[in-house]
Chain A
Amino acid sequence: MFRPRFFSPFFLALVCLLVFSATSAFANDNDWKPIDPAELSSTKPVVEPNADAEAIFWEVRMDDSSSEDLVFNHYIRIKIFTDRGRESQSKVDIPFGKISSYKIRIEDIAARTIKSDGTIIELKKTDIFERTIVKANGLKVKAKSFAMPGVEPGAIIEYRWREVHENQMANGIRLEFQRDIPVRTVKYYIKPYANGETMRVQTFHGNGPELVKERSGFYSVTMTNMTAVHEEPNMPPGDQIKTWMLIYYTPLPTSNPIIYWGLVTVAYNEILKPLIKVDNLVKQTSATAVGDATTPEQKLKKIFDYVRANIKNVSDDASGLTAEDRLKLKTNKSPSDTIKRGQGTMADIDLLFAALAKAAGFEVRVALAPDRSEIFFEPQFANAYFLEPSSIAVKVGDIWRFFNPGYNLLPFGMLRWQEEGEEALLISETGALWVRTPMSPPELSQVKRTAKLHLAEDGTLEGDVRIEYTGHLAVEKKEANDEDSPQQREDNLRDMIKANMSTAELSNIQIENVTDPVKPFAYAFHIKVPGYAQKTGKRLFLQPAFFQHGLGAQFQTSERRYAVYFHFPWSEDDNVTIDLPAGYTLDHAESPAPMAAGNISAYNVRIQVADNHTVIYHRTFFFGGGENIVFPTSSYGALKQVFDAVHTSDEHTLALKQNATAASN
């Protein structure tokens, strides 16, 4: 599956890499800035106490004043504290070349190392290598590469270069304020294009520093003590945690978001009108689809099912179409085209759904939404950079409902998790309307697991297992498996099970509904786990939480740098029955204590014994109730406690005692 983008992620990443991959000087200024002796003798980082290297300053002069080229002059000075810092910082690659329609060249590279004793080693021109990284089909990415000479802990390295983007404007350029090492001072000088639309800047996750007017038409923006970007499990998306600035040009009034979004809506509406046009064919088709449905819910479901069933989704990566096949396809210019051809992209299918719903009398709007896997968007920021057409909003009663039939793994009424719980801009002739998309509650994304098992006297556990996933969990599973062969899907399952129960042997594997949009993704299999229970002289020890066996704790470290972020709420429902071996009885049948964290989460386990022979274990858990999926660092301790407690309870062990008769035999 793909999602339409204004710029492909590859292109954006490449531009970012080109602009900020390493680092610049002042144009036509061949002099290095003086070195402060204190910096040379310093042995401790300033911004982060354990940093291996730290940028003393990082300066970029971005000159967009020319009607032709966009020029960056980079200059960075880095203090090296450790061998690791030396390893990570002393090899420099500066990409350039022809990427898409852009051509970038690199000029005037200069670099030097200043050892802690003040010795200066200049980089020789002959030590700068030009490499063609990749060349293919009009694309030619090259790099100037060099290794800084004589680098050792205590040294300062600095380098600068000029980067010229031919025939490009700074519109949509991102200026980063954080990098892989901490930076004491980041300073951008910005010179806008004077003869066109107004350049604007928007800072994300910084303190909104002032633009300061400088000489020669430049403005500057400075930030200090910028920490490095680190990686943590369950962290928010990169654009949400990093400090960065977006440069863009617009004739629209961004100071008043209401006016801005109104104008954006008008523009979009002009584009969209023909794409959701209701003509006779659409009316007839709508009537056929709706059939005898009477309630709004029934009608929408019928239309949803109709487009899914009757229009081949050519965007589906499991459709069997190659890239070449897709290129041969004709573009649908209206909903009628889509009906006539019986096939369309995911966008065509969404638009057809919109047109059919409209023809059925519903108030319909195309929804533009941000992607929660990239950033948590706020409409106060008047820039459509983050918004993309993503779903169809239909008013049912007083409520806007959202549908995305074009994404064929989603059930009726659900959006991709990336678009849930976000402000969406609904496009219509009547102006901009922001509506928050609903977030699916935990019960809609559920993993339901059942196991009917028998425990042998030697500790081997054997029986039949079924695991079903719904909602977003099902989408994830289907996406992960839909392109795989049946054999590979079985291998995926084996790997998943054996990761936590290495001795497990699986047979009679069935994997169901991999490409079915409605039914739960399901595994069914027979399992045998030698050594599952531990045997002592007179007891067997058994973990009844079969599905949690071997799992580690969710959070294993004491410190947390960033907020904890779960993509969506989910729930778990486990039913495990274990027939005990003859001659053994349960020494105790205590259940772990239940737990609850307000409406956010609850955990319950009930252990029963039937006929003194069968352990019945029922476990339920949910998380993310009340749309609580983001937790600030300050609540990490409490969150960890909850998950630790769940983990401890999941490890709860039952002791089976050997009957006196059996023991004596």
Chain B
Amino acid sequence: MLKKLIGCSFFLLLLAAPALAGNDEAPAWLRDAAAQSNPAYDADVPAVVLRREQNTTVGDDGRIVTTTYYAVRVLRREGREFARAVVPYLTDSSKVRDINAWVIRAGGTVKHFGSDYVTDAISDPNDVYNEVRVKVIPAADDADSGTVFGYQATVEERSIFGYDDWSFQDRLPTLVARYALTLPTGWRAQGIVFNHAKIDPTVTGTSYSWELDNLRPIEIEPASPEVTDIAPRLAVSYVPAQGATTTLKTFTNWTDVSRWLSELHDPQATVNDALATKAMQLTANAHTELQKIQAIARYVQGLQYISIDIGLGRGGGFRPHAATEVFAKSYGDCKDKANLMRAMLKAVGITAYTVVVYLGDPTYVREEWASPSQFNHCIVAVKVSDETQSPTVVQSPKLGRLLIFDATDDMTPVGDLPAPEQGSLALVVAGDNGSLMRMPVTPPDSNHMERQAEMTLNANGSITASVHERSIGQAAAGERRLFRKVSRPEYTQVIERWITRGASGANVTRIEPADGSADGRFSLDVDFSSPAYAQLMQNRLLVFKPVLVERSQSLLLTKSTRQHPVVLEPYALTETVHIKLPADFDVDELPDPLKLDTPFGSYTASYEVKGDQLVFTRTLTLHATTIPTDQYASVRSFFERILATEQTPVVLARR
């Protein structure tokens, strides 16, 4: 211990740091970028990208060399976080040849960040194994307002894919964004730019260049489309010379993509005795096609999600593990689960297909670019007969009726589909018969919560109350997620907080959830009391808010102007509150009823005195809608009026 005491220099902590840098010189491209002035932006824009450039050279042997040039000017202190080079690579099929970064300080001095500063890290710590890694040069500590940071990196990869996609910007404003591509002699490129008017590339021989300049910042706004639906992005396919042999896989249409994915998926839908026996056991008591599907779906959804990604550069990210292996280990990722479900259904005589989809932005996948890289998730399409009726059945021209189902989301049973997947384009992987299809959108009445509440109001302002909620569809999935993701004591606390938000000092005496996951339902019954829900004024007036729980307390859309459309998620609520009034009081004032009816949603609030009871009813329906910016004022007003109504109290007066 004494050694420890003496060995520690008093009050001193020296943080490890790389070797000191001298006054280095920045490369010419970075000096040129730094010499550019930028337009004035709003004060909250943290940085501006001066140059965002990718130069890709494709060899006919499948070797692709990409050099990235990136320069950013920090505009305010918080923009320091953008002084950071991040270069992803795959351990199996690519390598970072070189990566260098520089900081040019406001005074003109330069610091060079070489290999001593590079951190090499896993990309996703949650995966048991993943070949995606990143090389990072963090320079935020050396940057401040006025600093220009730049990096240059060259990555060499051996890809099997003859395509690329690239975004011209992220949220930051960008002065120059350029994607340059050089193909082997005789090859040509086909590019499409999304989220922007058509851009023709500059072509010299087999070299192509797409460029956009002076891109405005993309503001972060609540209920906004995903940035992938706003920022211009380029999708480019390489077309080999006639008769050329190449290892690069290219796709001319969606059937091509379906065929290729089928080659990867179909051999993996393996069935052995153990798997078949399990499928038979699961469906032993099922009498209908739907019941068989449900039984297998429940089993597969119940397996643990674990991702082990190997051979990504060779298409491994698209190939599921063999169904028998996933069955034996009882875990897998989305494509493993979809594939296992397909194999188990096969074992009981039902045909199914895997479906690849993009999870996170329903508008992300574009029909005009046939490429498997547009997808990041895998679900299932089960071929069903007319006997099976469900809101998630779609009609395929070649495959007939298909029941769409997500075998990974264990909150959403058969007959429903997670909201982020609804309405998106997805590819049914079925060889020559595969096609890009629009995923089903379930109607509002399939995603609904009904709430009934009874409240007894006493003359001193205290209440006793019961709340009963019945949810179906995605409304139930949300409740189920809340219920299942935490332990029972934690769930109790969640409900107590929910009640207490509307009723200060509430004492919750009963919480009874019921998870009807088999039929997509969820119910919750809660009893509670609150000592001072209503305020007694001068012993004469009793004032309270009739919205007992989940009262609108705040607005999401508060800014007066809007840069991007408003995206609404579907939601439907019907609520009736029966309030037994204290004997000595009469209703003195009621809030005005409200009825709003718009293309994106509707709302009603009404009040009725029936004997000694006040009956309050509200309904809210929101459609899955994207509302253009020129209608922003109307959607903002919609929610403002709801807030005002739900905050307005009822006044009782003593007789």
Residues of A in contact with B (beta carbons under 8 Å apart): 2, 4-6, 8, 50-52, 83-84, 86-87, 90-91, 121, 127, 129, 131-138, 145-147, 149-152, 171-172, 197, 248-252, 263-264, 267-268, 270-272, 275, 322-324, 327-328, 331, 345-348, 350-351, 383-384, 389, 459, 483-485, 487-488, 491, 498, 502-503, 530-531, 534-539, 541, 550, 552-553, 556-559, 587-588, 590, 644-645, 647-648, 651-653, 655
Contacts and interface: CB of A to CB of B under 8 A. Distances in A.
Contacts of B119: 134-137
B648 A252 contact: no
A653 B543 contact: yes
B630 interface: no
Nearest to B643: A531
Nearest to B640: A531
B10 A272 contact: yes
A491 B44 contact: yes
A429 to B, nearest CB: 16
Interface string B502-525: 001101100000000000000000
A461 to B, nearest CB: 13
Contacts of A51: 487
A90 B331 contact: yes
A644 B504 contact: yes
B2 A8 contact: no
Contacts of B5: 264, 267-268, 271, 384
Counting from the closest, the 5 A-B pairs by CB-CB distance are A347-B11, A502-B554, A250-B1, A485-B77, A136-B119
B20 A328 contact: yes
B532 interface: yes
Interface string B110-144: 01000011111110010011000000000001100
Which range contains the number of B residues in contact with the other chain?
A: 35 or more
A348 B1 CA distance: 25
A84 B589 contact: no
A648 B16 CA distance: 52
Contacts of B606: none
A149 B484 contact: no
Contacts of A502: 553-556, 558
A626 B14 CA distance: 39
A648 B460 CA distance: 14
A503 B558 contact: yes
Given A536-B591, A541-B649, 15 more contacts: A4-B10, A51-B487, A137-B16, A150-B329, A272-B10, A327-B14, A347-B10, A483-B77, A485-B77, A530-B640, A559-B493, A588-B541, A648-B505, A651-B504, A651-B535
A249 B1 contact: yes
B330 interface: yes
Nearest to A82: B487
A384 B10 CA distance: 14
Contacts of A146: 128
Given A552-B500, A558-B507, A653-B535, A345 B17 contact: no
B77 A556 contact: no
23 contacts: A4-B13, A6-B8, A8-B13, A50-B489, A83-B410, A90-B331, A132-B120, A133-B121, A134-B119, A137-B16, A145-B128, A152-B330, A263-B2, A345-B12, A347-B12, A483-B77, A488-B78, A503-B555, A534-B647, A536-B591, A552-B500, A557-B492, A651-B535
B330 A498 contact: no
B492 to A, nearest CB: 8
Given A84-B485, A133-B122, A655 B537 contact: yes
A535 B648 contact: yes
B118 A131 contact: no
A152 B303 CA distance: 8
Contacts of A252: 1-2
B629 interface: no
Contacts of A87: 304
Nearest to B111: A324
Nearest to B303: A152
Contacts of B15: 323
B484 A84 contact: yes
B245 interface: no
A544 to B, nearest CB: 13
A272 B117 CA distance: 36
Contacts, number: 235
A78 to B, nearest CB: 14
A587 B541 contact: yes
B398 interface: no
B650 to A, nearest CB: 9
Contacts of A91: 128, 306
Contacts of B129: 129, 131, 145
B308 A137 contact: no
Interface string B29-46: 000000000000001100
A130 to B, nearest CB: 9
Contact of B21 (A50, A251, A324): A324
B314 interface: no
Contacts of A538: 589
Nearest to B306: A147
For B302, B508, B558, the residue with the greatest tally of chain A CB atoms inside 10 Å of its CB is B558
A134 B13 contact: no
B12 A534 contact: no
Contacts of A150: 328-330
B122 A553 contact: no
A4 B12 contact: yes
Contact of B18 (A137, A171, A350): A137
Nearest to B650: A536
Contact of B120 (A135, A536, A647): A135
Contact of B484 (A83, A147, A347, A541): A83
Contact of A487 (B17, B43, B558): B43
Contacts of B242: none
B329 A147 contact: yes
Given A4-B12, A531-B647, A550 B554 contact: yes
Nearest to A530: B640
Given A146-B128, A350-B11, A536-B648, A648 B141 contact: no
A498 B557 CA distance: 12
Contacts of A331: 12
Contacts of B589: 536-539
Contact of B487 (A52, A270, A275): A52
Contacts of A483: 77
A534 B13 contact: no
A558 B10 CA distance: 46
A535 B6 CA distance: 71
B429 interface: no
Contacts of A559: 489, 492-493
A320 B244 CA distance: 59
Contacts of A347: 10-12
B431 to A, nearest CB: 32
Given A133-B125, A252-B2, A558-B496, A275 B504 contact: no
Given A87-B304, A485-B145, A539-B651, A248 B1 contact: yes
A272 B6 CA distance: 10
A129 B16 contact: no
Nearest to B537: A588
Contacts of A550: 553-554
Contacts of A346: 11
B308 A147 contact: yes
Contacts of A248: 1
B12 A648 contact: no
A351 B600 CA distance: 67
Contacts of A590: 537-538
B4 interface: yes
A587 B535 CA distance: 14
B325 to A, nearest CB: 10
B504 A647 contact: yes
A448 to B, nearest CB: 25
B308 A271 contact: no
B223 interface: no
A553 B328 CA distance: 50
Contacts of B594: none
A352 to B, nearest CB: 12
